[in-house]
Amino acid sequence: MVPEGLIASALPDATPQQAIYSLSMLLLVICTVIFVVVSALLAYGLVKYRERKEDALDEPPQVYGSSEIELAWTVIPILLVFIFFLATARTLNAVQNAQPSPGAVHATVVGHQWWWEIRYPELGITTANELHMPASDPAARTPLFIKLESADVAHSFWIPELGGKTDLIPGHPNSMWLEAQTPGTYLGNCAEFCGLQHANMLIRVIVHPPGEFEKWVEAQKRTATAAPSAELGRNLFLTTSCVNCHTVRGTRAAGTFGPDLTHLMSRQTLGSGVVPNTPENLRVWTRDPQKMKPACLMPDMQLTDSELDAIVAYLLTLD
Ligand code: CUA
């Protein structure tokens, strides 16, 4: 990764995955041609110079020391490697050093053991484990530029369908960008071993059709609504140590060690992809997260059944 600003290039015409795909195809075509030519020559040699009864004692022509042949098999591979090098360097530069275009959306992704904090500084939104972005229209592109940080150990951000991996290193911010033209959900996972629950550090990228991203942003910007029916659970939540780690905007809960819960129920999974976010799973999770995700940093809060009911009822109002 080149430090920011050292080599800046305009946004390339292709998305990162398209650029990587084109490079792979170029290399595949060149390698296929080499394979076919070498196989054909080999087959030709095998047939033409196979042992025959009539000339069994003849030696084939000896070409040791032929300058023409030595030059050919030295120069052609050097040229090919040079072409591979240039094509790869060009793609790397396009993918890694692109500068945000005017329509770009910006996000900061922070890796934690074992979940993803996702902030949109310009939009004032903080969420977790789900990266939302608008589908990009080739005529008015909306790529997502991401700053990658780590709160603890090294992690790696990887959405296979949307490009390569970029590490999240403590004390060394990295950056990358995503662009998807097809709306949908793209799954990814932490790609750097980061502890016991590394495999349960899943991330999903949700690419919204035109107009939908703005609706999602509006919904996420709202502060939590205080549903009167969940008053008991709300008070309990705000008076236990939940508030030390979690934020619910619009309340005094402002902890930052754990995921922001302001719109918890808008998310698809719990525990960074361990289970679907259903009321039943939320209850099991809240009773003792260590059962679903052993060694995760949220402890068993030792809630009684009635406390658990009240707090889960409150959490379910955080949509
Ligand atoms: Cu985070 Cu592996």
Q: What is the pLDDT of residues 251-291, one digit of tens each?
A: 999 899 999 999 999 999 999 999 999 999 999 999 999 99
Q: Indicate which atom in ligand 1 lies nearest the CA of residue 201.
A: 1
**Residue 279 Cα to ligand 1 middle (Å):** 27
Decide: 312 and 233 in contact? Cβ < 8 Å. yes
**Residue 300 Cα to ligand 1 middle (Å):** 22
Q: Indicate which atom in ligand 1 lies nearest the CA of residue 113.
A: 1
How many other CB atoms are there within 10 angstroms of residue 104's CB atom? 17
**Residue 216 Cα to ligand 1 middle (Å):** 27
Percent of the chain with pLDDT over 90: 77
Nearest protein CA to atom 1 of ligand 1, as residue: 155
**Residue 193 Cα to ligand 1 middle (Å):** 5
Assess whether the C-beta atom of 155 lies below 6 angstroms from ligand 1. yes
User: CA torsion, points 6, 12, 17, 19, in degrees to nearest 10?
Assistant: -90
Closest by CA to 112, choosing from 125, 129, 124, is: 129
Kindly tell me if the per-residue pLDDT of 1 is higher than 50: no
Q: What local confidence, expressed as pLDDT, does residue 62 receive?
A: 77
Burial class (CB in 10 A: 0-12, 13-18, 19+), 18: middle
Assess whether the C-beta atom of 192 lies below 6 angstroms from ligand 1. yes
What average pLDDT does the structure give for the chain?
Answer: 91
Amino acid at 85: F
The predicted model scores a pTM of 0.86
pLDDT for 122-138, tens place per residue? 999 999 999 999 999 98
**Residue 157 Cα to ligand 1 middle (Å):** 8
